[in-house]
C-alpha cells in the first residue's frame, strides 16, 4: 500500500488514499510508531469526496485536525491540481470544513466558529496553576489554560498536561497559553493532544488559544501563534469561523508492507 508522509509545523501524518479499513485503528498504532513504523502523530485517510478520517497514534479516532486539514489542501493541490485560491469543502467527523491553498507553502483552513464542549462548564478550576481552564470546541474539545506569568516549565507542562487531558470522558486537548513579550498581539502555546501527547503543533489548539485570548482581551482578532514547531496566523472576528493559515509540506512517499 502506498502512502505519503506530510507535516505541518512538525505535526506529522501518514496519508493514505481511500476510506479507512476495519483495522484502521491497529494500523494507526503500528504505522505511527517512531521505532517500528513510519512514525507520525496520526494516520489520515482521504477519499475522493473528499472526506478526511484521522486516527491518533494511540489508535483513537479524532473528530478533526487543523494541521492535517492544511496537509489535505496541499495534497489535493499537488495530486488533484486544486486551483490556488479556490475554497474547497472537506468532510470530517465534526462536519464540513473549508480550505484554500494560497501558494506552494501556505494553506488557509476555516475551522468554523468556536462552540461549547458538551457536558462541561465553561471554566474548570486548576489548583496547580491557580487559574481556571477554559473549555471550548473547535470541532474537537479543548481546555485552554492562560498563563499570565509565562509558559510552564517542561516538567510542569508534562505533569499538568498528562493529567488535565483526562478532565472529561474521551479526553481533551490541553493548551497552555502565554503572551509573547517580544511581539505585540502574539501568543505562544504548548499543546498536549489527546491521543498523541506533546506535539510540535496543533492547529485547532492554536485556534482555541486565540479565541480565549480575544475573549479576555489579551489580543485582537488577528494574531501570530507560536508553537514549538513554528508559527501560525489565526484570524477571528468574534462571530464567524476561525481562520488558520500556515505551512504544509510533503516529506516523502513510500510503500507499506
Residues 229-254 have pLDDT tens digits of 999 999 999 889 999 999 999 999 99
Residue 84 lies in a domain: yes
The DSSP code sequence of 81-142 is -PPTT--EEEEETTEEEEEEE-SSSEEEEE----BPPTT--SEE--TTTTS-EEEEESSSEE
**69 and 161 belong to one structural domain:** no
User: Per residue in 76-127, pLDDT tens?
Assistant: 999 888 889 999 999 999 999 999 999 988 999 999 999 999 989 899 998 8
Residue 38 lies in a domain: yes
Q: Where in the sequence numbering do the catalytic residues fall?
A: 65, 202
Same structural domain for residues 23 and 101? yes
Residue 17 corresponds to which cell in the numbers above? Answer: 488514499
Residue 257: the pLDDT is: 80
Examine the domain organization and report whether 99 and 137 are in the same domain.
no
| Domain shared by 131 and 65, yes or no | no
Question: What's the domain count of the chain?
Answer: 2
pLDDT of residue 163: 95
CA gyration radius, the chain: 17
118 within some domain: no
| 152 touches 145 (CB < 8 A) | no
Residue 206: CATH number of its domain: 3.10.310.10
pLDDT for residue 128 is more than 80: no
**Which residue range forms the structural domain that includes residue 156?**
123-241
pTM of the entire predicted model: 0.93
Domain match, 46 and 97 both: yes
Amino acid at each position: 500500500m502506498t502512502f505519503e508522509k506530510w507535516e505541518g509545523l512538525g505535526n506529522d501524518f501518514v496519508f493514505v488514499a481511500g476510506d479507512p479499513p476495519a483495522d484502521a485503528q491497529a494500523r494507526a498504532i503500528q504505522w505511527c510508531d517512531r521505532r517500528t513504523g513510519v512514525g507520525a502523530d496520526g494516520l489520515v485517510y482521504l477519499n475522493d469526496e473528499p472526506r478526511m478520517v484521522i486516527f491518533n497514534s494511540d489508535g483513537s479516532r479524532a473528530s478533526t485536525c487543523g494541521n492535517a486539514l492544511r496537509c489535505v489542501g496541499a495534497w489535493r493541490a499537488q495530486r488533484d491540481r486544486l486551483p490556488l485560491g479556490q475554497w474547497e469543502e472537506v468532510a470530517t467527523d465534526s462536519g464540513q470544513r473549508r480550505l484554500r491553498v494560497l501558494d506552494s507553502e501556505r494553506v488557509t483552513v476555516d475551522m468554523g466558529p468556536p462552540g461549547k464542549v458538551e457536558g462541561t462548564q465553561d471554566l474548570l478550576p486548576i489548583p496547580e496553576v491557580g487559574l481556571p481552564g477554559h473549555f471550548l470546541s473547535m470541532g474537537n474539545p479543548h481546555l485552554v489554560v492562560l498563563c499570565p506569568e509565562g509558559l510552564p516549565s517542561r516538567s510542569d507542562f508534562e505533569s499538568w498536561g498528562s493529567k488535565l487531558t483526562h478532565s472529561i470522558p474521551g479526553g481533551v486537548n490541553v493548551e497552555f497559553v502565554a503572551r509573547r513579550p517580544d511581539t505585540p498581539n502574539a501568543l505562544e502555546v504548548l499543546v498536549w493532544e489527546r491521543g498523541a501527547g506533546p506535539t510540535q503543533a496543533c492547529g485547532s489548539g492554536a485556534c482555541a488559544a486565540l479565541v480565549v485570548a480575544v475573549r479576555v482581551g489579551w489580543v485582537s482578532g488577528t494574531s501570530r501563534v507560536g508553537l514549538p514547531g513554528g508559527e501560525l496566523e489565526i484570524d477571528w472576528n468574534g462571530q464567524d469561523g476561525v481562520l488558520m493559515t500556515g505551512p504544509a509540506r510533503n516529506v516523502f512517499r513510500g510503500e507499506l508492507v
